[in-house]
Structure 1
Amino acid sequence: MSQFEVPTVDISAYVVDGSPGDRAAVAQAIDQACRSVGFIQIVGHGIAPETAAGLAGAMDDFFGLPVADKKRWVRPAAENRGYTPPKSETLALSLGVQSEKRMKDFFEAFNVGSSASDYPQDHLLADHYAENTWPEVPEFQQRVDAWRDEVARVARIMITIFEDALSLAPGSLAALANHPIEVLRMNNYALPSGTHVEVDEDLIGMGEHTDYGIVTLLWADQVKGLQVLHDGTWHDVSPADGALLINLGDLTTRLTNEQWLSTLHRVKPPIVDGTIERRRSAAYFFDADAEAVVGPWDSFVSADHPRLYDDVTVDEHIRAKLAGSRAGVRNASAQRENAWVAATLT
């Protein structure tokens, strides 16, 4: 079994305007982590512990409601907002992975994100910028929005670090995100009290997948479940105290012509005495503007590294991914990803 460790990087030099040398050291560490693992723990991000506690409390208050109450906030799949009941999605299909044994993913979620009303001066593609639905849970919106504001700030900092780490012109990556598709997905891996399951190797909390956009920032419990594939082996990953987990998305893979790869990951629900142990996470997806055109940048294409991807709009890319995970339509446009996943899972 290969040695595996998720690198920890202190990004405070970018948060508090550190010296050029300190910022260069951070950028170098991020570049090395993105080339070797694709998952990173960041500390020094400046998000107060009480803000994270507020998010966790809001999630507990909502997911603790009866299932019938939560289903009041189910939204059309194309809008990517509101409540997702358990066994509603198969994330592996977003990568084109298909199997006769493929089961629906065993998690529930609640999604909020950027809305068209946040950018009244722009004419946006409505499906990606749907208005949010807020459940009738005291202080839910306030606590969630407090987290969203902070994690959005950190996402923008990561974009700046990525530009430096990849030796890009300042603002070149940020230019793809004037009104980015942003989704905060709050996940709950548990069953109602007293519900038992058959322990089976095929039981999946969230199927193997890569994220869709530029970067994902993840808050999670320190409960086993999240696994990252590295050198053909699945490894458990849990955040350190106060850390956020960062991973790359498919758009970054396309932009860098696979110099940085989005990392395959999944969630296997922890089973204790025949029941699923509670585990919570909140993934913030930063996915660029819907109309932005993404393909390998010239600086990452050469005779030794030919162009691996055609240009695609972020809208087209996200639609194909969501059609797989939510509508069960195998993503036929993910040939490279499908072949890579098939090779690593055999």
Structure 2
Amino acid sequence: MPTSPFIVPTVDISPYLAEGARAHNSAECARVAAELDTACREVGFVQIVGHRIPGATVDRLTRALDEFFGLPLETKKKYRRSSSENRGYSPPVSESLSMSLGVQSANRMNDFYEAFIVGTETTEYPDLDLPEASYATNIWPGDAPSFRSAVEEYFTHAQELARILLAAFTDALRVEPGYFDAMVDHSINALKMNNYALPEGEVAFDGDATGMGAHTDFGILTILWADQVPGLQILGSDNAWHDAQPADDALLINLGDAMARWTNDRWRSTVHRVNPPITDGQIIRRRSAAFFFDGNHDAVIEPLPGTVVDGEPGYPPITVAENIAAKVAGLKAGVKPTVALREAARVLSAR
């Protein structure tokens, strides 16, 4: 019997951005919430349109990526930070995202991409005693003078969109409005900007190298902008890898570990990866920017009431910061997480 084609659903979220939609009691919002619930249960990824991030803002972001990643490798390395801070520049083959799940490849650190990360700082919440490890100070590349303003503009829009999506997710889960507010009022947010095409001769391409290894995201939700270039693959419920790329003017949204744990896997933190975008033996340009909405560092992630059925194992409580720290240690230092992860078994059995 033929299987159904793998499809990432598309949802128009504009009703949640409409004037007066804060109450979220319109029929249009109810429809959007139902569509999101289906996508989160069945796929764990969804394409959104009607998000209202201006095209000009995205254009400025992409020019900023080109400005920074076009610099010589040795210049970019000036902006490298320690793995514990998870900020600044990461050179090619210095990370392995599959190790965030404890899945090791033949070459321990083999992800081909290079990246630059900025995020929420302690200075944004002066009245709170926040840990520097979770809210590290950003570093901005002076060698790319237009970079900071363009990135901060996009970051602001993505942050606002993430909170609107969380309101829609709250409705979709049928919990009371504002249920998650106390868990995200000083959320750790980060923007990871990635580049997969490097000038010839800067780094040797190893056949074992991956574009970005199989992984789940760490927090509540991710907003992904990406070039319309092949590479992104999603691990479906059929245990097979499926290609995915955004449609025109769409953003890809996926769930992270926090939401999967809160819903006890009713909603999926879907495993995904990026293969090197190769055409005729050459790596072609692929850029992406993933905005991670991760929640407060001290928010406790445990199953929501009613999500654990008698006899089913529920996730043990863990804070957002503890979960992120364990996965970043695998990503950047190759340290295997000490807790067995359900996602690792899915990766190892994938076809």
* Matches of 2:334 and 2:88, distance apart in 1: 19
Residue 272 (structure 1) aligned with residue 279 (structure 2): yes
**Does the 8 Å contact 1:159/1:174 carry over to 2?**
no
Hey, what does 1:93 align to over in structure 2? 99
Q: State the Cα deviation string for residues 252-301 of structure 1 (Å, max 9, x = none).
A: 11000110010110000111233210100000001001111111112212
Aligned to 2:262: 255
Instruction: Show structure 1 runs of 5+ residues with no match.
Output: none
Report if the CA contact (8 A) 1:227-1:234 is conserved.
yes
Tell me the equivalent position of 1:158.
Answer: 165
User: How many residue pairs end up in the alignment?
Assistant: 343
What TM-score do the two structures reach when normalised by structure 2?
0.94
What is residue 242 of structure 2 aligned with on the other side?
Answer: 235
Query: Retained in 2: the 8 A contact 1:197–1:274?
Result: no
- Structure 2 partner of 1:331: 337
C-alpha displacement at 1:101, in angstroms?
5.5
Give the alignment's Cα RMSD to 1 decimal: 1.7
**Paired residue type of 2:196:** Y
- 8 A contact 1:87–1:106 mirrored in 2: yes
User: Counterpart in 1 of 2:179?
Assistant: 172
Supply the distance in 2 between the matched residues of 1:341 and 1:255 (Cα, whole angstroms).
22
**Distance (whole Å) between structure 1 residues aligned to residue 219 and residue 128 of structure 2:** 21
Q: Does 1:59 align with 2:65?
A: yes
Q: Structure 1, residues 122-143: CA drift from partner, whole Å, max 9, x if none?
A: 1101111011111011221111
Deviations 1:74-104 (A, max 9, x none): 0011101100000010110101112445551
Contact 1:85 1:108 in 2 (8 A): yes
CA distance, structure 2, for counterparts of residue 198 and residue 89 of structure 1: 15
Matches within 5 A, 1:1-346: 2-17=4-19, 18=21, 20-100=26-106, 104-136=110-142, 137-193=144-200, 200=207, 202-230=208-236, 231-303=238-310, 306-343=312-349, 345=350
* Residues 218-253 of structure 1: CA deviation (Å, up to 9, x unaligned): 000000011111112211111111111000001111
TM-score, with normalisation over the residues of structure 1? 0.95
Runs of 4+ in 1 over 4 A off after TM superposition: 194-199
Does the C-alpha gap of structure 1 residues 197 and 126 become closer, same or farther in structure 2, counting only changes over 3 Å?
Answer: closer
The question of whether the paired residues in 2 share the 8 Å contact of 1:257 and 1:301 is answered with yes
SS in structure 2 opposite 1:299? Answer: coil
Distance 1:108 1:100 in 2: 20
The aligned amino acid for 1:341 is: V
SS in 2 for 1:79: coil
Aligned partners of 1:296 and 1:307 also within 8 Å: no
- Counterpart contact for 1:83–1:110, Cα < 8 Å: yes
- Identity percentage over the alignment? 51
Stretches of structure 2 that go unaligned for 5 or more consecutive residues are none
Asked if structure 1 preserves the Cα contact closer than 8 Å seen for 2:239 and 2:346, the reply is no
Change (3 A) 1:2 1:268: farther
Q: Distance in 2 between matches of 1:25 and 1:102?
A: 45
